[in-house]
Amino acid sequence: MIIVCQKLLKNTKINGITLYPFIFIKNPEDKRNRVLLNHEKIHLRQQLELLIIFFYFAYITEYYYHLFILKNAHKAYLAISFEREAYANEHDLDYLKKRRFWSFWKYLK
């Protein structure tokens, strides 16, 4: 389900965030942004594969690991395997049809 939530994301640089089973987007016009929605749907699949709670644990752990190494919040975010997979495949609108189970694994650094 896609929810427009301008107040939640108002003072952030975030255009969209996925918290299973919802995709929250900042701008109503992004409901038609197929690339953004595909990126977030990739996260939905990742979350399901890791039974949701383990996804969040792994995501946060990876983020802080990369933050410790890189000393830069944005670079740490971009280094997370889940984000690397989503960004690498967000333009391929058929990606989820052919994606293999735990495909994020190959994006681990």
pLDDT, tens digit (0-9, with 9 covering 90-100), for 34-80: 999 999 999 999 999 999 999 999 999 999 999 999 999 999 999 99
pLDDT for position 5: 82
For β-strands 22-25 and 16-19, DSSP reports them as antiparallel
Give 21's contacts (C-beta < 8 A, 6+ positions apart): 1, 44
Domain range for 14: 2-107
Distance CA 104, CA 19 (A): 18
pTM for the full predicted model: 0.94
Is a pLDDT exceeding 80 seen at residue 6? no
pLDDT for position 2: 85
Would you state the structure tokens that stand for residue 21, as one six-digit string? 């089973």
Residue type, 30: D
Helix or strand or coil: residue 16? Answer: strand
Rounded to whole angstroms, what are the CA distances from 62 to 5, 78, 81? Answer: 27, 11, 8
Q: What total number of domains does the chain contain?
A: 1
